[in-house]
Chain A
Amino acid sequence: MLWTAATALLSHWRRRPLQLATLVLGLSLATALWSGVQAINAEARASYARASSVLDQKELTQLVPRRGDSIPQGTYTKLRRAGWNVSPVIEGDHRIGNTRVRLIGIDPLTMPAKAGGFKTGDTSNLTAFMSQPGVLIVSQGTALKLKGHTQMQLQISPDMPDGAAFTDIGIAESVLKRRGELSRLLVAVEQRPDLPSLGTIAPEIARKEPGDRPDVAQLTDSFHLNLTAFGFLAFVVGLFIVYATVGLAFEQRRATFRTLRSLGLPLSSLTLLLVTELLVLAFVAGVVGVVIGYVVASLLLPDVAATLQGLYGASVPSSLSIRPSWWATGLAMAIAGTIVSSAESLWRVRSMPLLTAAQPRAWLRATTVGIRVQLAVGLLLLIMSGALATFGHGLMVGFAVLGCLLLGAALMLPGVLSACLAVLQKRSSRALVTWFWADTRQQLPGLSLALMALLLALAANVGVGTMVSSFRLTFIGWLDQRLAAELYVMARDESEASRLRAWLPARSTSVLPIWSVAGEVLGDRLEIFGAAADDPTYRDNWPLLSGTVDVWDRIAAGRGVLVNEQFWRRKALGIGTGLVLPGGWEVPIVGVYSDYGNPKGQVIVGIDALAAHYPHVSKLRYGVRVPPADAAGLKERLTSEFGLPAENVIDQTTLKRQSRAVFDRTFVVTGALNAFTLGVAGFAMFSSLLTLSGIRLPQLAPVWAMGIRRRDLALLEVLRTLALWLATFIAAVPVGLALAWVLLSIVNVEAFGWRLPMRIFPMDWLILAIVALAAAIVSIFVPLRRLATIAPSDLLRVFANER
């Protein structure tokens, strides 16, 4: 009995393969985008965790200096003597060849086991590690870059992130020129119970408990949140398809259900059969989706890696490993999505009376009341979004604002469209035009899900596009200002640097030192740069967000400091606030500058003051101003006359091109996800139109009988689809702009600490409109061909008794 019933139910799909394909494909695409994004996220997260556990030994308690950036050797000795089980670390940035490496000097003998990442191995290894010229433990990628530029032996460890190296502390001490100055101390987990307190032995250092989250993960969280939000959006768009298709398939099988039940199949068995059918479909679609998702993810991952590297300096391997967890989540999402979107249909089967006439159009009939309720809920959500944007704080609030905005706008769409169509219908006097609007309005309930999905996809495109373009334009303008010097040169060592300082001035307009030291300010590690504030390069080009009138004079005199926007926002600083720089040097803040794309804090002081307070600052890098026409000549002389390797002289154009390249790859990911989402929405539209075309004959037949040709009806059908797409597109533009505004002014500030001015690019919308138009035409093509070639007898059958 059960088997016979199952065959009867399944025969439906055999007769409607396109419907089956729509259902499976819709769900697969939704799952694919979701699981693809999850795969990327999982990969990136895993690599941050690895990176930070290796580099920062974040699981361990650490001892750090209260002031300045070093702990004297003596303090360490004192602690060891008092019985503290601590291990010293010296770290700093070091240039090998052209590569900047974060050098972390450790003491293999006292290093706590839990610090991880580094295996002391056998004694012969240990001896090599601890003696000259030393060993660098690096990643595969870093090893390739360093090969040939250092005498130190390179040892590859899969746990190392790119751009960092472990070495022996003695070697780090000499390479970094930090005689007896330790960066921090690691505290082993195993300690004697009766230790004297830190305050009594070494009040000059502070205890830092293990952070629960790695720094870089915090920074990139927002990026992943963005990705997840996108994945979820695409998933929801896909569920619209599933909802519509399942609803139709159930409605079309009403007669079968009724027959089966009147033949004695209990309701529970029918439900069981239907649920099983849905679960099987969901499972199949889920597997297909996860596979597509894997492909999508592995295509996108190289760009994601480049994005994260570009934005945050976080390194992510650009190949994907298969994690069982996201297989499981992908499938679970597919199944949960199917259940959610078919719950209503299932419920209706359960509550279906045995004897009612079939209502093939009932599933479409979203009543006026329904549309009105939707309108009200949508409006409420928009108001909530506005209120949250005005009064709320925090990244999650930012995303809540986004969510309310998108959902509210989507819910309002059918109601607003319906109202507009009603007005158009009233204002038209020609019969055919009136009918056109009225008929379009009648299609709305059946198309509303697809239109809502389309709105979301288009708004996301407009919004993210605006954000990216604003970002790009601002960034490039900012690069032009920041990279004002024509040439950037780097000496290989201090003696060459001093030769350079003597050689350059006679051959250039001015020479701008680019020197920096790393240090801790207000508890954050940041870079302290020196600026030749007297030079017009700074006075004319350096973009300031706010500052005192005489900013540059005060910087030049060493009586002020500039801070970057992110540091300024994070610490809620104000002009005039005093800052204590490493070494106890206290200066007031005189200005704030924008520093896009830099996750870290940064401060700028006068170059003379920098050199005076931090005599050990490395003086290797310089910006050189020359008349632009002479730049190429000077570059040539720097290599041939002065003897610098060519790669140590970079001209501004190359540098800008490189920066731009990094930046452009940055947003390939969002672009790709945008395109996918639009694709899924287009597909939703296609399947809705196809569905509708099957039940439209009774609506079209009378008009045809009264003397409108099939060809004209088909043309009107195209116009109708285009009109709906156009209306949705027009609605999507303000929603998208609002989305961009929220991204730039709320989410970005909360996530990255800086705010971008929003710029508007109507040309981009035009391109999007053309793409959407193409998608619209594709989506109507199949239903249209059906209509244009329909036989008169099919239309005539509508009027006869046979229906």
Chain B
Amino acid sequence: MLLSLRNVSKSYTTAEGRLDILKGIDFDLDAGESVALTGESGSGKSTLLHLAGGLDHPDTGQILSAGRDIAALDDRGRAEYRRAAVGLVFQQFNLIPSLDVAANISFHAKLAGRHDREWERELVGRLGIEALLSRYPEQLSGGQQQRVAIGRTLAARPPLVLADEPTGNLDESTGDAVIGIMLSLTKSAGAALLMVTHSSRLAQMLDRKVHLSGGKIV
């Protein structure tokens, strides 16, 4: 088991009062498996992903990764976890604006201590971004940016990739192409994938599909 969520709950305190978003989530993800996470807007998909990625911590419950409870880690431990064990792809602002594409791609790999030139070259080739290496993020289109973000994530060879609507800002055909590349690359890297998506068509392309509703996995 690569990742297990045990009875995880999370709430936000807002001006209107307490807002229970996740109410006892139980969820498992095997190594190399790809899972689509669907649900209505506001159902807590992003929240769940952030908890799994060690970006935020739950109110109660355990998040087990390789036997360790991420939820119990302190700030330093969670940062370490993000560096070494997960790769994140978001809807936007994935790239570091001050670094060019080449530096962005190797950034996470270097931080994780897994920089591998050969693998990086292969990724760049398969993503079709060789021509963009010396450009800066603001000089790229949305689809190009997301391809670079995927390259950046996979270059670090994380066992787990978390993606939050990575193609939400792209048109359908570009989005499909990007997802296609991402799926095949995660498979060949042997990484597990948990991807939030609104599109059942995209969800179809993954191994499994879970639905979030009323704060529970159904």
**A residues whose Cβ falls under 8 Å from a Cβ of B:** 430-432, 434-435, 438-439, 441-442, 698-699, 701-703, 705-712, 792-793, 795-796, 798-801, 803
Contacts and interface: CB of A to CB of B under 8 A. Distances in A.
Interface string B107-136: 110111000000000000000000000000
Contacts of A438: 96, 98-99, 103
B192 interface: no
B84 A707 contact: yes
B99 A435 contact: yes
B82 A796 contact: no
A344 to B, nearest CB: 23
A796 B55 contact: yes
Contact of A798 (B93, B110, B168): B93
Contacts of B88: 705-706
B78 to A, nearest CB: 8
Given A432-B111, A801-B168, A705 B55 contact: yes
Interface in B166-195: 168-169
Contacts of A699: 96-98
Given A701-B93, A796-B55, A706 B98 contact: no
- Main SS at interface, chain A: helix
A796 B50 contact: yes
Contacts of A434: 99, 103
Contacts of B205: none
B9 interface: no
Given A430-B110, A431-B107, A435-B98, A706 B93 contact: no
Given A438-B103, A796-B50, A707 B82 contact: yes
B26 interface: no
Interface residues of B, number: 35
B48 interface: no
Contacts of B56: 792-793, 796
A21 B186 CA distance: 52
A431 to B, nearest CB: 3
A702 B76 CA distance: 17
A801 B91 contact: yes
Nearest to A430: B110
A705 B82 contact: yes
A435 to B, nearest CB: 6
Given A793-B56, A800-B91, A431 B110 contact: yes
B106 interface: yes
A228 B50 CA distance: 59
B59 interface: no
Contact of A710 (B75, B95, B108, B169): B75
Contacts of A792: 50, 55-56
Contacts of A712: 79
A800 to B, nearest CB: 6
Nearest to A712: B79
Nearest to B76: A709
Contact of B98 (A442, A708, A711): A442
Given A431-B107, A698-B97, A707-B79, 14 more contacts: A431-B106, A431-B111, A698-B93, A702-B94, A702-B96, A703-B96, A705-B82, A706-B111, A707-B82, A708-B83, A709-B79, A711-B75, A800-B164, A801-B168
A694 to B, nearest CB: 16
Interface string B70-81: 000001100111
A709 B98 contact: no
A709 B83 CA distance: 10
15 contacts: A430-B110, A431-B103, A435-B98, A438-B99, A439-B96, A698-B93, A699-B96, A699-B97, A705-B88, A708-B79, A708-B83, A712-B79, A799-B92, A799-B94, A801-B91
Contacts of A702: 93-96
A709 B93 contact: no
A102 to B, nearest CB: 69
Contacts of A432: 111
Contact of A442 (B53, B97, B106): B97
B86 to A, nearest CB: 9
Contacts of B91: 799-801
Contacts of B83: 706-708
A711 B79 CA distance: 11
A695 to B, nearest CB: 11
Contacts of B99: 434-435, 438
A109 to B, nearest CB: 86
Interface centre among A702, A709, A792 (most CB of B within 10 A): A702
B110 A799 contact: no
Contacts of A439: 96, 98
Nearest to B84: A707
Nearest to B87: A706
A688 B92 CA distance: 27
A706 to B, nearest CB: 5
Nearest to B41: A801
Contacts of A801: 91-92, 168-169
Q: Which 3 A-B pairs give the minimum distances between C-beta atoms? A: A707-B83, A431-B110, A799-B90
B213 interface: no
Contacts of A705: 53, 55, 82, 88, 90
A698 B145 CA distance: 14
Contacts of B80: 707
Contacts of A706: 82-83, 88, 107-108, 111
B46 interface: yes
B43 to A, nearest CB: 14
B6 to A, nearest CB: 21
Interface centre among B84, B96, B164 (most CB of A within 10 A): B96
A792 B98 CA distance: 22
A221 to B, nearest CB: 50
Contact of A709 (B50, B75, B96): B75
Nearest to A799: B90
A793 B55 CA distance: 9
A566 to B, nearest CB: 57
B153 to A, nearest CB: 9
Given A706-B108, A707-B82, A708-B79, A435 B96 contact: yes
Contacts of B111: 431-432, 706-708
B167 to A, nearest CB: 13
Nearest to A801: B91
Contacts of A435: 96, 98-99, 103, 107
Interface in B28-81: 46, 50, 53, 55-56, 75-76, 79-81
Nearest to A432: B111
B158 to A, nearest CB: 10
A701 B96 CA distance: 9
Nearest to B111: A431
A531 B85 CA distance: 90
Contacts of B75: 709-711
Contacts of B53: 705
Nearest to B113: A431
A799 B93 contact: yes
B154 to A, nearest CB: 13
B149 to A, nearest CB: 9
Interface centre among B76, B106, B108, B169 (most CB of A within 10 A): B108
Nearest to B81: A707
A227 B58 CA distance: 63
Contacts of A701: 93
A798 B95 CA distance: 12
A701 B90 CA distance: 11
Interface centre among A439, A701, A798, A799 (most CB of B within 10 A): A799
Contacts of B110: 430-431
A441 B98 contact: yes
Nearest to A441: B98
B117 to A, nearest CB: 13
Nearest to A795: B55
Interface string B1-35: 00000000000100000000000000000000000
Contacts of A430: 110
